[in-house]
């Protein structure tokens, strides 16, 4: 009973980077619209946008750090994507907390903005990876 070797595949680097940027832009637009329509002041809007900007920056760097152009098996990609997602969340939230303590920004909009930016980025990355895995029939 021989099992076939797992195929090596790469992930679409440009699409992953574009997804990280565009989902962050969409989150920022949603945040700006919601906070301007609600009872919040401009500081809440700007601090939340800062959190989303941090997520966008960390997401682009995280995508480059996982080297999606490097061929790996699907099993290896699963571990890399989970590690990248957890690292991205920890680094982004940690950076927001550092900004809170260093610059005394309001914590709630900063962290809520970061979470509002993280969720679409993670969804976009997962959808792209799943589409690539299906395309490769693995």
pLDDT tens per residue across span 47-76: 999 999 999 999 999 999 999 999 999 889
- Is the CB of residue 105 less than 8 Å from the CB of residue 47? yes
Q: Return the pLDDT at 1.
A: 47
According to DSSP, residue 12 is labeled -
**Closest among 97, 70, 96, 98 to 84, alpha carbons compared:** 70
Q: Which residues of the chain have pLDDT under 50?
A: 1, 3
Domains of the chain, residue spans: 13-135
- Is the CB of residue 117 less than 8 Å from the CB of residue 27? yes
């Amino acid at each position: 009973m021989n099992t076939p070797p797992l195929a090596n595949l790469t992930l679409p680097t440009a699409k992953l980077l574009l997804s990280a940027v565009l989902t962050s832009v969409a989150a920022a637009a949603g945040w700006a619209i919601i906070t301007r329509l609600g009872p919040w002041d401009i500081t809440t809007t700007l601090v939340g946008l800062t959190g989303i900007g941090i997520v966008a920056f960390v997401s682009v760097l995280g995508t480059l750090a996982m080297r999606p152009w490097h061929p790996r098996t699907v099993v290896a990609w699963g571990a890399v994507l989970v590690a990248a997602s957890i690292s991205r969340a920890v680094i982004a939230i940690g950076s927001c907390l550092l900004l809170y303590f260093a610059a005394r920004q309001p914590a709630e909009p900063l962290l809520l903005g970061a979470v509002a930016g993280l969720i679409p980025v993670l969804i976009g990355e997962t959808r792209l990876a799943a589409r690539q895995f299906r395309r490769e029939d693995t």
